[in-house]
Amino acid sequence: MADDDVTLFGKLKNKLIDSKQKWAQDGRLLTGHDAPPTERLPPGQRQVENWPVLDLGVQPEIPLHAWRLFVDGEVEEPTSWKWGEFTDLPKTTLTTDIHCVTAWSRYDNRWEGVSARDLIALVRPKAEAQHVIFHSYDTYTTNVPLADFAGEDVLLAWSWNDEPISREHGGPLRIVIPKLYFWKSAKWIKRIEFSVLDKPGFWEVRGYHNYGDPWREQRYDEEA
C-alpha cells in the first residue's frame, strides 16, 4: 500500500473537539420532541441550502493511485480494492437528505457509488457479525449496527450532484447513511470492519449517542 502518498492537511482542532464534547454534556440543541419518520425535517433541525464542512481539522489528500479500501473482520471474503476496481463494481444512484447533529439539514443530495448491499453480498458477513466499524484516512472512526449498514439507501459514494465528491467532503469515497445523523457517514473511508462486538467511534466515546436516529433526536448519550 502506498500510504506514504497520503498527505494530511491542517491540524487537529482540539478546542473545537472539546467544545463539541461540552455541547454533548450540556445537551445543547435538544428540543425534547420526537417526530414521526414520515416528517421530512427531524426535530430541532433547520434546512440549509449550502453544504457545511465538518471534520476534525485534518483533511487527507488521497491520490487515486494510493487509494485502497479494505473490508475485513467477520466476513467470509475479506477484500481490498484499488480505485479502478472499486469503480468497476455495479453502480447505484440515489437522492437523499442529510441531517447533521449540529442542527442543519440539506435536502436532495444526489449520490453515485456502490450500494452497501452490493458490497455486503461480495464480502459475505458471518452470522456472528452484528456491527460495522468505519475507519477513515484521517483516523476518524464511527460505528453502526450491520442491520443499518445493510439499509437499501446506504451508499459508498464517489459523486455528489454529478461531480466527484470534493476532498473537503470526504472524497475520493465516503459513506452515506441517510437515516442516521451525518457523523455516522464516514468521510475518506479506508477500512470497513465487520465485528461481533460494537466499538464506539470518535464521537461516540465523546458523548454522542451510540445510534443517532434524528427523528428520535438521539444527538447525545443520555449518560454523558
**Residues near Mo ion (CB under 5 A):** 54, 100-101, 183
Long-range contacts, 98-102 (Cβ 8 Å, 24+): 98/51, 98/178, 98/182, 98/185, 99/42, 99/45, 99/181, 99/182, 99/214, 100/52, 100/54, 100/181, 100/182, 100/183, 101/29, 101/181, 101/182, 101/183, 101/208, 101/212, 101/219, 102/29, 102/52, 102/54
Q: Which is nearer to ligand MTE, 9 or 128 (CB)?
A: 9
For residues 154 and 116, is the Cβ–Cβ distance under 8 A?
yes
Any bridge partners for residue 70, and if so which? 80, 191
Q: Are 131 and 194 in contact (CB under 8 A)?
A: yes
Shortest separation between residue 124's beta carbon and ligand MTE, angstroms = 26
CB of 93 to ligand MTE, least distance (A): 18
- 149 lines the binding site for ligand MTE (CB under 6 A): no
146, interface contact from ligand MTE, Mo ion, none, CB < 5-8 Å by kind: none
> Shortest Cβ distance from residue 114 to ligand MTE (Å)?
18
Query: What CA–CA distance (Å, rounded) separates 221 from 218?
Result: 7
Report, in Å, the least distance between residue 216 CB and ligand MTE: 18
Q: Contact between 182 and ligand MTE (CB under 6 A)?
A: yes
Q: Confirm or reject binding of residue 158 to ligand MTE (CB under 6 A).
A: no
Report the residue from 111, 183, 194, 220 that binds ligand MTE according to the rule CB under 6 A: 183
Q: Using CB under 6 A, pick the residue from 45, 105, 136, 195 that binds ligand MTE.
A: 136
For cell 434524528, name the residue. 214
Total residues at the site for ligand MTE (CB under 6 A)? Answer: 18
Contact segment (CB under 6 A) with ligand MTE among 74-82, 84-92, 183-191, 210-218 equals 183-191
Does 169 bind ligand MTE (CB under 6 A)? Our answer is yes
By CB under 6 A, residue 138 contacts ligand MTE: yes
Q: Nearest Cα to 145, choosing from 180, 183, 187, 111? A: 180
Q: Which is nearer to ligand MTE, 115 or 141 (CB)?
A: 141
Comparing CA positions, the residue from 184, 107, 116, 109 lying closest to residue 147 is 116
For binding to ligand MTE (CB under 6 A), which residues are involved?
51-56, 100, 136, 138, 140, 169-170, 182-183, 185-188
